[in-house]
Amino acid sequence: MRADFGVARIHLAALLYQQGRYREALRECGTFLATAKSAGEKARGYYFAGLVLQRQGHLAEARAAAQRELALVLENAQLTAPLDLNAGATEHAKALVAQLPTAGALFPGLFPALPASPPA
């Protein structure tokens, strides 16, 4: 497979993860990250790497991957808050959740009943 065929690489990583082949999944995440061009693609790579590392019990490394994901694209930070809570960093998790946009802000007009910002 071509190294720069990112979509296939990250899907292969997901498949390997589901099969319990974590070392191979991490290798594919690394190859994907090496060729990812956009912040969104890189965030996706760190997200999958974080999932694999979390499954392996490498929580510090998973949290580092999640923080890299967060630094790239805040809206894609689905892994950071739970890992922060698991690590006992409740204040950081609360601060993160407070920064996340609501569905109303991400998709204006699609959810008219939702506010554009969280209630105060």
| Residues 46-104 pLDDT 10s | 999 999 999 999 999 999 898 888 777 665 556 677 778 888 888 877 777 676 655 44
Q: Please say whether the beta carbons of 32 and 10 come within 8 A.
A: yes
What lies within 8 Å, CB to CB, of 93 at 6+ separation is 80, 81, 82, 84, 85
> pTM value?
0.62
Residues in the chain: 120
Inter-CA distances, 20 with 11, 14, 17, 50, 62, Å? 14, 10, 5, 14, 16
Per-residue confidence (pLDDT) for residue 37, from 0 to 100: 87
| Residues 25-62 pLDDT 10s | 999 999 999 999 888 889 889 999 999 999 999 999 99
Rounded to an integer, what distance in angstroms lies between the CA atom of residue 31 and that of residue 9? 7
* DSSP result, 1-12: --TT-HHHHHHH
Per-residue confidence (pLDDT) for residue 114, from 0 to 100: 46
Residue 3 has pLDDT above 70, yes or no: no
| Domains in the chain: ranges and CATH | 6-106 (1.25.40.10)
